[in-house]
Amino acid sequence: MNHSRRDFLRCAAAGCTLPGAALLQAEETPSGETQVPEETMRRIYSEVQTPYKYGIVMPQEEGDMIDSGKVFRFRGRWYMSYLRMLGGVGYVARMARSDDLIHWEPIGTTMPFRESGWDAWQASPAPALVDYRWGGSCEIQSFQDRYWFTYIGGAGKGYEPDPLKIGLAWTEDPASGQPFSRLPEPIMSENDPDARPFENTTLYQTNVMRVDRSLLGAEFLCFYNAKDENSVERIGLAVSDDMIHWRRRGDGPLIDNHSGISGDPQIVRIGDYWVMFYFGAFWQPKAFDTFAVSKDLLHWTKWEGEPLVQPSRKYDETYAHKPCVVKYDDVVYHFYCAVGDQGRCIALSTSKKI
């Protein structure tokens, strides 16, 4: 690791000051206290809320559903990895680019269908090692001269048929729009020896971060949601030293709302706090985006107030969910999957009118 990378990791872990970043300092609390104060939760809500719905930024493609937009920056431009439900058969992964976070141009299919294998008909990637500092660069970081994407994959046809597992893919140029390379086998699955009861059916979307080892004793962290035999989805954590071999952290989930879905976690660092954006569904009406806050990445205080995004327009009247949130040039951009009268597509909500 060179000095600039080491400095990046230390700065990110410490919540260094960045231009335009709203920093929150942790209050003094009794030793061992893990609950985040209510006042801090309200301040974070005020910082991350996006009350202005811009509308659809990625419509359906030739009648095919679009889903799970994940945004990152690379060499001065914005990119979005997203899914296309091709012909109702399964997921292929696509890439789009933008200069303004509003207007997006598809540039290629990065994970097409395969003739065979454990991930032949489903591939849903998320960029790994993206700068998670709130108001930071949003740049995807390389590891061993490659850019990495974890993904959920499956061999069955249709809409996310069980079981889905987590795989690892990479590219030397995420801006090319060309197909990624993939490891031949999944890196995590529902039948791993250390898989916990809440993840014994299917594993879903991931958020992989690179942090200082002093935080949790490992350099790479993977937050992901998973489903049990009762179709309840919860969010868990795994850790790794090399991005390939993973071990579960803890005996149970980090986020558990006891019914429905808690999914698609995204972690950012705001001052002295870690903030997890995620979506909820069916433990409250429909589907919506919310958040939780932590001091240590292990104990999370869930926001109990108004959702960050929820159904309110015809284009998202069924679901408004699956967050990808970035702050850039003092504007918060909240991308989400909207389901309504325009089908399933990617919409945007912002902190200011644009």
- Cα angle 317, 319, 201; round to 5: 160
Q: What is the C-alpha to C-alpha distance for residues 107 and 105, in angstroms, rounded to an integer?
A: 6
Asked if 14 and 132 touch (Cβ cutoff 8 Å), the reply is: no
Which tens digits make up the pLDDT trace of 16-33? 444 444 456 655 444 457
Q: What pLDDT score was predicted for residue 10?
A: 45
Q: What is the C-alpha to C-alpha distance for residues 276 and 134, in angstroms, rounded to an integer?
A: 12
- Strands ordered across the beta sheet of 90-98: 66-74, 77-86, 90-98, 105-111
Task: Print burial letters for 136-174: b (CB count within 10 Å at least 16), e (below 16).
Answer: bebebbebeebbbbbbbbbbeeeebeebbbbbbbbbeeb
Region 114-130 average pLDDT: 97
| Closest to 81 measured CA to CA, from 169, 203, 20 | 169
Q: Is the peptide bond before 163 cis (omega within 30 degrees of 0)?
A: yes
Q: What pLDDT score was predicted for residue 25?
A: 61
Region 63-67 average pLDDT: 96
Query: Predicted confidence band at 262 (pLDDT cuts at 50, 70, 90)?
Result: very high
Region 232-250 average pLDDT: 98
Domains, the chain, ordered by start: 3-350 (2.115.10.20)
- Examine the pLDDT at 114 and tell me if it is beyond 60: yes
Strands (E) located in 241-330: 246-248, 261-270, 273-281, 287-294, 300-302, 319-328
In the chain, pLDDT over 90 holds for what percent of residues? 90
DSSP H or E run through 228: none
Helix (H, G, I), strand (E, B) or coil at 277: strand
Which tens digits make up the pLDDT trace of 311-343? 999 999 999 999 999 999 999 999 999 999 999
Region 149-173 average pLDDT: 97
Q: What pLDDT score was predicted for residue 62?
A: 95
Q: What is the overall mean pLDDT for the chain?
A: 93
